[in-house]
A and B are shown apart, each in its own frame.
Chain A
Amino acid sequence: MKEFLKRVLALTNKEFKQLWRDKANIMLGIGLPIILIFVFGYGISFDIRNAKLGVIDLTHSELSVKLHHSINASHYLDAIAYPSIEAAKKDFLLERIEGVVVIPNNFDAALWHNKASIEVFVDGKDPNRAQALQGYVASVISQTYSKESIKKYGRVPGSIDIAYRMWFNQAVSSTWYIVPGLIVLIITLVGTFLTALVMAREWERGTLEAIFVSPVKPLEIILGKIIPYFVVGLLGLSICMLAAKFLFEIPIKGSIILIYAFSMLYLVIALAIGLLISAAVRNQYVASQLSVATSFLPCVMLSGFIFDLRNVPVIVSFIGHLLPSTYFMDLLKTLYLAGNYWPIIIKDGLILGVYALLLIYLTVLKTKKSLD
């Protein structure tokens, strides 16, 4: 046992020294998480803020000016006045504005006497954004209109008020679900991509051959690789958690201890996948391609990171549910946003545990001290 620890320590020590000396590794281990945090945290947002709309007011009445102002006042929208539809259309084609609101001639008269209509055109290239924009425009218009009708008639025409309550994400901010997802992405990247590369490099450079003919056991070689990258992964995790808390002010509803515990479990899974890949192909180029294709891309695309797995065809969803990252993503978002909700924690935790055991078993099986 003492011998075992001594050898693991020797290998770990060596790995840390190499890690520290190869600047490319440091870049991947620490630089890339920071880049990702900034890109995802600040660059990507699916929420609408200050979308520019062209407003063509052909009436110039008190009400139409009010409408114009209230569109501008909404923090979702920005109103830009245009004299004619043609002028607005030109900017619309150049994508300077995302939509056009047309308040027709004789709007007031038509409104109080018969039916008035306001035309809204939005750029439909991105349908979700289009739909949301339409919704915001409609609600701004109808609110203003209700206020005005109270002024004029002293009452509101019968209407239904919908009281929304957004659970788990009070700010309705996509950052809230992207940043926890980022933790999954970074652990996958460090665990699988980096580990597959460094292990494949040992195979390729032949450094393992002499080590094999020493009293070292396969498990010790594996541990000597896992421990250092485990630490790097935890570092990336902590950077993300700190960024989430202080940069993006995302509340942590669940327990931090649980978040760390399950992140470690998932880190072990990611590391085992990386070691498995490198043991199977023993070639840096193929190992890196494989680890990107089998873990990084699916993690971005199929784990529910950005795209909701509930909205995809059954077969794609099935593939997504074969990946450990899907369960970790689910677990982490729940712990972050919903709190210690045990049914999900237990279900996902168990699945991840089974994956971890299976993958470690396979890795130990695959890493034989043999060149066969």
Chain B
Amino acid sequence: MFMNFFYPLLSLVKKEFLAVLKDKMSRTVLIFPTLVQAFLFGYVATFDITVVNYVYIDKDHSKESRELKSMLDGSGFFKEVDVEGSFNKAQKLLNDQEVLLIISVDNTFAKKIAKSEVSQIQVIVDGRNSTTAATATAYVNNIIATFSARYAKSNVNLDIRSRNLYNVNAITQWNILPALVATLSMIQTVMLSALSVAREREKGSFEQLLVTPLSSTQLLIGKALPPIIVGLVLSLVILFFAKFWFVVPMQGSFLSLYIGMTAFCISIVGVGLSISAIARNMQQAMLYAFVFLVPVVLLSGLMSPISNMPEAWQYANFCNPLRYAVDITRRVYLEGADFMDLMHDIIPLLIISLVTLPLAGYLFRNKTN
């Protein structure tokens, strides 16, 4: 009995793999974009600033104002562009996006410092990209704070000691890459499962499959397993990429990461197969998958934190499988979370699977005939 169920299933799984991996084109489409995306995202998806060009307008010409400039230049982040004190020139450079900041110091700067009065520095920032602007502002803040600590005389002192936990060196890649493990493998898993039935239907082979004695349960499992395995293998590839190319250290255990990823893959394959069962052709399947993937990726917390979203979105996000997976990968990578710590992510994923897989099964039975 067991063999009668298991053996045809095994044949189906084997065939699904052959169909995906034998064709050079679909093999390429499977692996290549994932690697390119991991590579590009790894480099591009950064809000860190490497170099900020700025204009320094010094009306004070004092020792202090020169000292501030040399501190800015010495930070390694800031690079001055000389405009010979012309504000008009500076403004043009800012408009052209040649510089991001204009820092100007008025002629009372040194005097006020000496008198322990509040002296003012004006900073003009190009806000077209508010994230870059905010980061650059933070750097300026830090440097001026150090400067003021050195010059301002004060009999009392308050020291604010800040520490980053988990990502001590504050590298954005450490934040993005672990999340990519889940995101990129999801894109391929959903695409693959969404196309699996749609492609067979378009090529006519689905009918041939339907007249075989495979039951709909066998069909569902046989169609679900290969995308799950492909998803897990791809996540392994990206994981190695993160580990050896971008050298992101992994704190937690490989096993707990993989248990989490398996729960995740099961939950999204249900969605992909449901799409496949409804779609009449490949074009529709691609389209539905696209419409599903875009919001899921964007709202997952991959790029911007979920806590920033409006409340309604945060509630809606409880059904988003990727937000749990992103959380799992980040926590295993950066916090070293173990299996028990991940339960509050894994349980929702299992609940999602309990909805999506039976849905796919239902649609298989009712839409495939």
Interface of A toward B, CB cutoff 8 Å? 24, 27-28, 31-32, 35-36, 39-40, 42-52, 93-95, 98, 111-112, 115-132, 134-135, 137-138, 141-142, 145, 149, 155-170, 172-174, 176-177, 197, 201, 284-286, 288-289, 292-293, 297, 301-302, 304, 306-308, 310-313, 316, 320, 330, 333-334, 337-338, 341, 343-344
A197 and B283 in contact, given A162-B144, A163-B121 (Cβ under 8 angstroms): yes
With contact pairs A93-B341, A160-B144, A162-B144 given, residues A176 and B130 touching in the complex (Cβ less than 8 Å): yes
Are A127 and B164 interface neighbours, CB within 8 A? yes
Residues in A whose Cβ lies below 8 Å from that of B299: 39, 43-44
Determine how close the nearest CB of chain B comes to the CB of A31; give it in whole angstroms.
8
Q: How far is the CA of A36 from the CA of B291 in the complex (A)?
A: 9
Asked if A311 and B47 sit within 8 Å, CB to CB, the answer is yes
Known A-B contacts A135-B138, A201-B283, A289-B29; the reply to A39 vs B158 at CB < 8 A is no
Select the stretch in B167-175, B226-234, B258-266 that faces chain A. B167-175
B172 to A127, Cβ gap below 8 A?
Answer: yes
- State whether B161 touches A118 (Cβ < 8 A): yes
A-B residue pairs, 6 tightest by C-beta: A169-B127, A124-B164, A157-B154, A158-B116, A127-B170, A124-B167
A157→B153 CA distance, assembly (Å): 7
List chain B positions with a Cβ less than 8 A from chain A. Answer: 25, 29, 33, 37, 40-41, 43-51, 92, 94-97, 100, 113, 115-135, 137-138, 140-141, 144-145, 147-148, 151-168, 170-172, 174-175, 195, 199, 282-284, 286-287, 290-291, 294-295, 298-299, 303-305, 307-310, 313, 327, 330, 334-335, 341, 344
Chain B residues lying within 8 Å of A176, measured Cβ to Cβ, are 127, 130
B152 touches A157 (CB 8 A): yes
Question: Whole-angstrom distance from the CB of B219 to the nearest CB of chain A?
Answer: 22
Which residues of B sit under 8 angstroms from A44, Cβ to Cβ? 298-299, 303-304, 309
Nearest-CB distance from B24 to chain A (Å)?
12
Chain B residue at minimal CB-CB distance from A23: B284
Q: Number of residue pairs across A and B with beta carbons under 8 Å? A: 293
Quick one: closest B residue to A342, CB to CB? B95
- Cα A120 to Cα B309 with chains together (Å): 24
Residues of B within 8 A of A304 (CB): 129
Contact between B128 and A338, CB atoms less than 8 A apart? yes
Known: A45-B304, A161-B119. A167 touches B126 (CB 8 A): yes
CA distance A128 to B176 in the complex (A): 12
